[in-house]
Amino acid sequence: MLLLISPDSVEEALDCVKAAEHLDIVDVKKPDEGSLGANFPWVIREIRDAVPADKPVSATVGDVPYKPGTVAQAALGAVVSGATYIKVGLYGCTTPNQAIEVMRAVVRAVKDHRPDALVVASGYADAHRIGCVNPLALPDIAARSGADAAMLDTAVKDGTRLFDHVPPDVCAEFVRRAHAAGLLAALAGSVRQVDLGPLTRMGTDIVGVRGAVCEGGDRNAGRIRPELVAAFRAEMDRQAREYAVGVPAQS
């Protein structure tokens, strides 16, 4: 399981650099513009320059509307700015066909520029609260559009978490469907250390966090701390070791 950490500024990215050995992907977002809020192209470039070359940079392109052309241009801007994982939050897509149309436009825009970039179709565990596509539809949407990964996050950051909206057994089905389609499965949404056991056992490929590695667990007011990143990775590694030998880890 890969660890994706989401700084919201160049300064926070430098804190991530101090913990670079403990993380796998640096994700650029702008939390005050939404769950998958897009940051500025120059911030993506500066963060790409700041983090070690062997650490891929991911970038969100926003909680997007059903506007395929607009979203394709945004995605191209992210990959041109240095991101190799391009995450699209399908916020304004109310049907799978709308989501596929948006994602196909994104895949073409991104892959025409950089064929090795990875496109991530992101949906929301709490989709019922905002009226967008069902979480379990995401793997099929990603596969039919030519994307590389399917992801779930939470849209409304009100203290509720991934498993509050999509229980572990449903998340496991999401992962199973993604893998059956040849996709990576990514899960996020106020994930904490206590969630790592179930996430490991279901075969999650990428876990995304912010609040869990911020001071006070506060994704907005807190700042990412290197020692919290290290502690989160240590628990990931512990769960992976114990799962590998078939012994349930104690939370």
**Both tokens of residue 243?**
């799962």
Catalytic residue among 29, 30, 111, 157: 29
Q: CA dihedral defined by 228, 37, 59, 104, rounded to 10 degrees?
A: 140
Burial of residue 31 (number of CB atoms within 10 Å: 0-12, 13-18, 19+): middle
Task: Say if CB 33 and CB 6 are below 8 A apart.
Answer: no
Phi, psi of 136, deg, nearest 5:
-75, -10
Catalytic residue among 30, 55, 67, 87: 87
What is the Cα–Cα distance from 50 to 189, expressed in whole angstroms?
26
Letter string b/e over residues 82-111, b meaning 16 or more CB atoms within 10 A of that residue's CB: bbbbbbbbbbbbeebebbbbbbbbbbbbbb
Answer yes or no: 87 catalytic: yes
Answer yes or no: 55 catalytic: no
Task: Say if CB 222 and CB 211 are below 8 A apart.
Answer: yes
**Which residues are the active-site residues?**
29, 87
